[in-house]
Structure 1
Amino acid sequence: MKLPEIEIPITEIPLNKNIRLFIKREDLIHPEISGNKYWKLFYNINHYLDLQTSNPLLITFGGAFSNHISAVAALGKSLGIKTLGIIRGEEISNKWQQNPTLSHAQKNGMDFRFVTRTEYRDKPSLTKTFEIAFPNALIIPEGGSNFLAVEGVKHMLDERTKSFDYLCTAVGTGGTVAGISKFSEKNQKILGFKVVDDSSLGKRISELSGKDQIPLLDAHFGGYGKITDENIRFINWFSNEFGIPLDPIYTGKMMQRIFELMDEGFFSQGSKILAFHTGGLQGIEGANEMLRKQGRTLIIE
């Protein structure tokens, strides 16, 4: 299978005469297989289909609002391949129809297995269980981050990205920042913005990239999936100001931290900064359902 090459516009965000910030719209690469997920799945699926032609099956892991779950379901539908999502949280097994991410994944043909949070944490054991049950399946790790994913991320870099001093991306499972680090220019500074409070990320990223530890800056604002009122204000201001929607879990938090760092004088004078928009906009609907129930301001979709 050959996925199409799609040109992604790099949009400049005017700031001041000394620092210029740009955003690379990976979110526009595909309507459903959005952003970095497209490239993280690229070599995984091509390699699998080169080897497996009969009864293919894609199995992967994620939470109830996972961008990765949504992307794998859409990929399976586009290729006519069955998909199975291993979903964290047995307690939602009887009410997943109320979840916009899972409902959409199901419409794209994905079946689900709901497991307890304790079972979910033991990924090696869980993976082994499904390897035995489905020996012909491609089992993709949570977030899609593995060595083939890292190779796919190199397509997020091109001739246009070589002129930037800083390359910035949100970090969840580490595959995207590992790929950017591995294939960037030697003079470029790579910054990963952690949206999870995970002390093991640095080691995992180094293993995937083959590079020394990459600077990781906290951008979780109280925890993974937590959305503060200030996050909402920033995302809505950014959308109104620049016409670019941001998701509340990854790119929105990264961009907010970048603006804070600029105010703090973190970046060198005259720097050109490139931030990667890694998609995830499908999650806004679910976030707004939660915010609506809490009587809070909604995120612009």
Structure 2
Amino acid sequence: MSLTFFLPPLEQINSEIARQAGVELYVLRLDLMHPWVNGNKWFKLKYNLLEAKEKKFTTLLTFGGAYSNHIYATAAAGNLFGFRTIGLIRGEERLPLNPTLNFAVQQGMHLVYLNREMYRQRNTPALQEYLRQRFGEVFIIPEGGNNLNGVHGCTEIIDHAMPTVVTERSRSAGYAYTFNSICVACGTATTLAGIALSLHDKQRAIAFPVLKNGAFLTQEIESLLTNYLASGLPSPYTSPASWQLVCDYHFGGYAKVNDDLLLFSQQFREQHGVPLDYVYTAKMFYGVIDLLKQGFFCKGDCLLLVHTGGLQGNVGMEERLQRFSKI
């Protein structure tokens, strides 16, 4: 199994707000790893693909919404690695297909639409048995790659920010400086769990849920961490680093945006040359900048913001926003 990736750049963000807060700001550009299978999506898929290949499966089946980055990446990865793919999409079919689903079909993915009641049962043994009866021997990947294979892959993300960055402040002081806080957007919490497992005890992971009332993810994160450590899968440390959820920047819920977020994304790209996706990274970046203004971080901190990709979803989101603006 091979796939050519570009080394994701690590870029410093020269922000006046960060300077005033006495904080150094870096972004890990996972969005630039590959044109289709990039961001945290590759890390969550990697070990699922390896297991499927080792167990001789020929078909992958997974779940997602109509604008799902996971559906997009799974369709592309399946095509690249020679798997048939089936995507179970939440809700009814809408034609013409949006850019995300159209791309998935072009990559050979067979789309099947589930009503919302059935979709809520996607992780139950009963529905998964029904799916196997309907589609045959398929390798099922949970929505968003949210399983221990996904966590395993995400323990490798921070390796791409190493060797340790020597910042301007640490260079003048004569020592190597590691990141105090690693910030990431949070959907299923798989990425946060993997990152927390890969940090040492003087670092912390900060996640920004993109879902409304995201505090419910606490139990899911604790379960992922406990199960991973009990599984015997590789882990750099015997316990996770400290982590926390910042739940105030969901902008109304999953895939919800407003003018403030759109303006922030546009200005951030113009000022720093970093495009943000509206569903995930824009909300996290907005939250970090707002917290810097509030003095949330300590002077001398060095923050790493993980860009988790998903930029292809902006096209469909912008089309949807334009339709709503005309109503």
Structure-2-length-normalised TM-score: 0.85
Q: Per the alignment, do residues 183 and 212 of structure 1 end up closer, same or farther by CA in structure 2, a change over 3 Å counting?
A: closer
Cα deviations by residue, 1:80-134 (Å, 9 ceiling, x for unpaired): 21100000002xx2x2433111111101101111011111111214323213334
Cα deviations by residue, 1:139-182 (Å, 9 ceiling, x for unpaired): 00001111011111122112335810000100000100000001
Look up the match of 2:216.
200
CA contact (8 A) 1:120 1:126 kept: no
Is structure 2 residue 163 aligned with structure 1 residue 160? yes
**Number of aligned residues:** 291
Whole-angstrom distance in 2 between the partners of 1:139 and 1:255: 32
* 3-state secondary structure, aligned to 2:62: strand
* 3-state secondary structure, aligned to 1:214: strand
Whole-angstrom distance in 1 between the partners of 2:8 and 2:42: 13
Residue type at the aligned position of 2:50? N
Is structure 2 residue 41 aligned with structure 1 residue 42? no
* 3-state secondary structure, aligned to 2:8: coil
Whole-angstrom distance in 2 between the partners of 1:81 and 1:107: 14
**140-149 vs 152-161, which deviates more?**
152-161
CA contact (8 A) 1:73 1:105 kept: yes
Higher-Rg structure is 2
Whole-angstrom distance in 2 between the partners of 1:285 and 1:5: 23
Look up the match of 1:128.
129
* 3-state secondary structure, aligned to 1:169: strand
Whole-angstrom distance in 2 between the partners of 1:221 and 1:161: 34
Look up the match of 2:66.
64
CA contact (8 A) 1:191 1:216 kept: yes
Question: 1:5: Cα distance to partner?
Answer: 5.6
- Mapping for residues 17-56 of structure 1, pairs under 5 Å: 18-52=22-56, 56=58
* 3-state secondary structure, aligned to 1:118: helix
Residue type at the aligned position of 1:214? W
Whole-angstrom distance in 1 between the partners of 2:261 and 2:198: 31
* 3-state secondary structure, aligned to 1:248: coil
Q: CA RMSD in A?
A: 1.8
Whole-angstrom distance in 1 between the partners of 2:294 and 2:118: 42
Amino-acid identity (%):
38
Question: 1:199: Cα distance to partner?
Answer: 4.2
Cα deviations by residue, 1:254-292 (Å, 9 ceiling, x for unpaired): 000000000000001110000100001011011110122
* 3-state secondary structure, aligned to 2:61: strand
Whole-angstrom distance in 2 between the partners of 1:110 and 1:98: 13
Residue type at the aligned position of 1:182? L
Is structure 2 residue 235 aligned with structure 1 residue 235? no
Q: Per the alignment, do residues 209 and 96 of structure 1 end up closer, same or farther by CA in structure 2, a change over 3 Å counting?
A: farther
Is structure 2 residue 108 aligned with structure 1 residue 104? no
**137-146 vs 127-136, which deviates more?**
127-136
Q: Return 5+ residue gaps in structure 1 as ranges.
A: 297-301
CA contact (8 A) 1:96 1:102 kept: no
Q: Return 5+ residue gaps in structure 2 as ranges.
A: 166-177, 227-239
Whole-angstrom distance in 2 between the partners of 1:167 and 1:272: 9
Is structure 2 residue 218 aligned with structure 1 residue 214? no
Whole-angstrom distance in 1 between the partners of 2:98 and 2:309: 19
Whole-angstrom distance in 2 between the partners of 1:182 and 1:10: 21
Residue type at the aligned position of 1:58? L
* 3-state secondary structure, aligned to 1:200: helix
Residue type at the aligned position of 1:37? K
Residue type at the aligned position of 1:84? I
Q: Per the alignment, do residues 165 and 182 of structure 1 end up closer, same or farther by CA in structure 2, a change over 3 Å counting?
A: same
Question: 1:4: Cα distance to partner?
Answer: 4.4
Whole-angstrom distance in 1 between the partners of 2:129 and 2:241: 30
Whole-angstrom distance in 2 between the partners of 1:206 and 1:150: 12
Look up the match of 2:274.
244
CA contact (8 A) 2:62 2:143 kept: yes
